[in-house]
Amino acid sequence: MASILLIEDDPLVRRGLQLALNRHGHEVRVAETGEDGLTEFHTAPSDLVVLDLMLPGIDGFEVCRRVRAAGPVPVIMLTARGDDFDIVTGLAAGADDYVVKPVQPTVLDARIRAVLRRTAGSAEDVRVHGELRIDTAALVVTVRGAPVQLTPTELRLLLTVSRSPGRVFTRNQLLEEVWEHDYLGDSRLVDNCVQRLRAKIEADPATPVYIQTVRGFGYRFGPL
């Protein structure tokens, strides 16, 4: 069972998802505005936040940025549209996943469980690549000795590609391994996560050393 904070302004959607997720074994707290959601987030710990983007007052994009700044709690955003702008902006704000409304509760539950599995990580050896150090047991990443705060999905992506330096991962392979489903070939998740990860671990994100693009194929981890 996960402790979930659901921030959704539509009372019917909010109540329906709360009841459905409760039936799936989760403990769900709710808020109807961005302000109330942030207050609730700081009042009690949450394993995951489900966040509507179109909120009155502080919108979901800003709520996501503030949740992400507070720590590594995963965020799944709800969007009423499949517009590229909403999805890309939400991912850039730090969301780990997105679901387009209306969403079946069983689908949302599956996405929640997949994100939480990714968050759990796995214990392996410490990996050192140049100035980058990845402690996969403690799930701590440092660059030049300074800790780097990664989202659960960014960490999962880094763990996946650093496992096999030099191997080229296609976007679909990364969707399957990191996000655990294929998203019907939606490569925006991968590309946005790579951009955010580069901004945190690369000395110059424009000329990346660690997460390298292989044009026409995908990404690989270097230096070899």
Return the pLDDT at 154: 93
Return the pLDDT at 125: 63
**178 and 135 within one domain:** yes
Return the pLDDT at 204: 93
Count of domains for the chain = 2
Averaged pLDDT in 10-residue chunks for the chain of 224 residues: 91 93 92 95 91 90 89 86 76 86 87 79 67 85 90 91 89 87 71 94 94 93 73
**136 and 110 within one domain:** no
Return the pLDDT at 122: 46
Return the pLDDT at 124: 47
Amino acid, res. 124: E
CATH of the domain at 175: 1.10.10.10
Give residue 70's domain range: 2-120
> What global pTM score does this model have?
0.61
Return the pLDDT at 58: 92
